[in-house]
């Protein structure tokens, strides 16, 4: 008998998906080159050549068994070591390979982290605006999601609202920095304040509230921006990572959960992740991908294009009078719409072949997201359309 | 706060794992070559060269985006088409690519299939002896597992017990043919009888009971043995497959759920699998692995070694007076122990450096499993130890 709950999910097409389909259709009419599609957060730069070279070398040097045989339940030892060493080197941490659990991207990482530190019925807090997939990620575990309203001034954390909503049912807090959809990086002040609040409430409630830190955009940081590593500031942090953005490998489904070695339970949590996998059918990322990633652990694609695109858009948006916080990283920017209804605003933009995502689905109505992981040349060409859109539709601003 | 349920799972080390660790330790003393380790079901033959060649060609011919970019939510189209075409060609089916959902191996496939057709609280039936991982697979969804006692005569299905245990709470029946641990292939008679019973009970209960058919050993079939394709006999069949055994790629985590096109809900179930993935963090197998598998879809590793090993063991076991059903496929054989307590029996075998798995954990006490996915030369050398073990420990049989 078919599970009606999953069937019911099929009806709901995401706004992003609908807009992306519009862009494809419109592209058939006027050429996709002339559609300024800012809808999808898909890396637009190629994976570094070294990744393919590492894959080929592995196939030449390792036996089929070493390469394609089962990985240990808790992951390939070389990959775990490469991740731990890299984090230690870069962030002054003391991870051991046994603190690292390889996963199929950040989605897999969050799925494991959530299950490790909550039980069905618990509450998980997220901060608006947030990646809409957090809803199925959290509710899929049986936990409930509580949204802390946005700090629309700086898109850091609205601590006043956070404080009011915290309660003893909250077992985990899920953050995303650098942030999708705002492009903002949490400052050291924010992270310190968050850590202090979690420590205070953990003491008050008599258990440790876990911080699940989703960091797929960690490597896309713009000039002069400081990107503090959250686990350094709070002991009970599970760091979730994906190589989708930094190495442009979203299809290869590789990431990890890094459990803070300062937490006495860190290795237990890694072992628990192995048990969690048995029930969800995840069973670790592909063996050859783990082994190849280990060899290019500190490399990235050429990420400089994202900063170039951001600056072009940011300058134009400011010139046009948009209220917008300058992104510190990622490939997103998050301006305030020129009318209260961002859905109506984005609909009007379509007439100018501008595909903008209203932020209602990110739980932040009145704003919109632009994903500028597209060719710089196209960003440049889009500026005239943006200008024409604003001047025509909002002449009296 | 740590999830105590997953933590509690950590204490329970599987018998197979314990035995395998014994074998490794003993190997350090006398050389692993002299330990006859029949504990693990790990492919012992290499993946075909064509697989690596396909991987390399893809890296030379495709752009990084085509190769490493996101796969569509419901899987790579070429892989889906290759699977559908192969099943149609070989089994006279009429699958469309849209009936196929790529997964991370059979574990991923079963995780999706179970969630698609049950809700928490439902009952899922399995037939003893069965792969012990079915327990976390089923209970991980919130469903309950009901075990139908073994047909110890032929290791087909005990229909009398099956009939007695069927009830309106049973929403799915999970079979595994060719079977781990028995090596037995379900006959056409068995499959037909099973299909008839499921049709009868579906009509009686007023909903369709789904058949989840786990077939990772489908390609390891011995001379003259007929291996009927279950979905051909029952409309509501979800076929779960893995390339782990046929292509010796267990580490690459690639498999699929094939939804019977005769079921009007088949494409809906595929779409639902995409939704299920969002909650479990699975998010499809690696893109390059899907694309490479599509190109070697009908190939297998050199599987002939398993039949050679089986014949050596079977003949010797019969000669020594064991009660044993001749395997029709897989790389397992499942004899009756020479005393009622198969755990004690297997303990005694260790003195002869024979690592045999007592079948208590397969829910079939009194039997033991030998996994003969090891070098033929080693199987040959093991026979003397087997003989000595039996003659010394059970002289009065």
Q: What is the C-alpha to C-alpha distance for residues A272 and A266, in angstroms, rounded to an integer?
A: 10
Q: CB-based burial of residue A284 (10 Å sphere; 0-12 exposed, 13-18 middle, 19+ buried)? A: buried
Residue B381 preceded by cis peptide, ω within 30: no
Closest CA to B374 of B300, B306, B303, B304: B306
Mutate one of A1, A11, A17, A53 to test the B interface: name it (highest B CB count within 10 A). Answer: A1
Q: What is the pLDDT of residue A397?
A: 75
Bridge partners for A242 per DSSP: A255
With CA atoms as reference, the chain B residue closest to A284 would be B253
What confidence score (pLDDT) does residue B397 get?
75
Q: Answer yes or no: do B46 and A64 touch at CB < 8 A.
A: yes
The complex's ipTM? 0.95
Low-confidence ranges of chain A (pLDDT < 50): none
Q: Beta strands of chain A (E only): which ranges?
A: 36-37, 100-103, 123-127, 144-148, 170-176, 210-214, 237-242, 255-259, 332-333, 354-355, 357-358, 368-371
The residue of chain A with its CA nearest to that of B66 is A251
Render pLDDT for B259-301 as a digit per residue (tens, 0 to 9): 999 999 999 999 999 999 999 998 789 999 999 999 999 999 9
Q: What is the pLDDT of residue B282?
A: 80
Q: Which of residues 125-164 of B touch A (CB under 8 A)?
A: 133, 136-137, 139-141
Select from A386, A370, A379, A374 the least CA-distant residue to A325: A370
Q: What angle do CA B110, B310, B256 make, to 5 degrees?
A: 20
Angle at A42 between CA A39 and CA A47, to 5 degrees: 160
Q: Cβ distance B212 to B218 under 8 Å?
A: no
The predicted pLDDT at position B11 comes to: 79
The CA distance from A338 to A322, in Å, is 7
Cα B208 from chain centroid (whole Å): 24
Residues of chain B with pLDDT under 50: none
Contacts of A167 in chain B (CB under 8 A): none
CB atoms B117 and A1 under 8 Å: yes
Residue B1: list chain A partners with CB under 8 A.
117-118, 122, 171, 207-210
User: Number of A:B CB contacts under 8 A?
Assistant: 228
The string of pLDDT tens digits covering residues A65-115 is 999 998 898 999 999 999 999 999 999 999 999 999 999 999 999 999 999
């Amino acid at each position: 008998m078919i599970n009606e709950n999953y069937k019911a999910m099929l009806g709901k097409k995401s706004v992003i998906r609908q807009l992306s389909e519009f862009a494809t259709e419109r592209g058939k009419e006027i050429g996709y080159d002339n559609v300024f599609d800012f809808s999808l957060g898909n890396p637009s730069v190629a994976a570094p050549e070294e990744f393919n070279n590492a894959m080929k070398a592995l196939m030449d040097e390792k036996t089929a068994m070493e390469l394609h045989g089962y990985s240990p339940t808790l992951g390939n030892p070389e990959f775990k070591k490469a991740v731990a060493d890299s984090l230690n080197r870069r962030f002054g941490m003391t991870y051991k390979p046994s603190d690292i659990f390889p996963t199929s991207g950040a989605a897999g990482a969050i799925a494991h982290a959530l299950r490790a530190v909550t039980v069905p019925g618990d509450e998980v807090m997220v901060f608006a605006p947030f990646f809409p997939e957090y809803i199925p990620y959290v509710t899929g575990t049986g936990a409930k999601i509580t949204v802390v309203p946005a700090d629309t001034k700086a898109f850091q954390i609205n601590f006043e609202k956070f404080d009011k909503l915290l309660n003893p049912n909250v077992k985990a807090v899920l953050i995303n920095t650098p942030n999708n959809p705002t492009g903002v990086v949490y400052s050291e002040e924010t992270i310190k304040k968050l850590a202090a609040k979690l420590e205070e409430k953990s003491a008050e409630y008599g258990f440790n509230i876990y911080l699940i830190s989703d960091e797929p955009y960690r490597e896309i940081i713009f000039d002069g921006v400081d990107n503090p590593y959250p686990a350094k500031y709070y002991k009970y942090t599970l760091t979730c990572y994906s190589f989708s953005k930094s190495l442009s490998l979203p299809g290869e489904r590789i990431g990890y959960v890094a459990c803070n070695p300062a937490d006495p339970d860190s290795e237990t949590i890694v072992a628990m992740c192995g048990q969690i996998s048995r029930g969800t059918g995840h069973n670790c990322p592909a063996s050859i991908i783990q082994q190849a990633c280990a060899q290019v652990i500190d490399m990235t694609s050429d990420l400089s294009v994202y900063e170039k695109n951001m600056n072009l858009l940011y300058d134009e948006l400011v010139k046009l009078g948009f209220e917008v916080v300058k992104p510190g990283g990622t490939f997103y920017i998050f301006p305030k719409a020129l009318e209260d209804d961002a859905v109506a605003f984005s609909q009007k933009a379509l007439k100018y072949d501008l595909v903008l995502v209203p932020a209602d689905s990110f739980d932040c109505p009145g704003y919109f997201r632009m994903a500028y992981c597209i060719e710089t040349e196209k960003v440049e060409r889009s500026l005239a359309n943006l200008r024409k859109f604003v001047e025509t539709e909002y002449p009296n601003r």
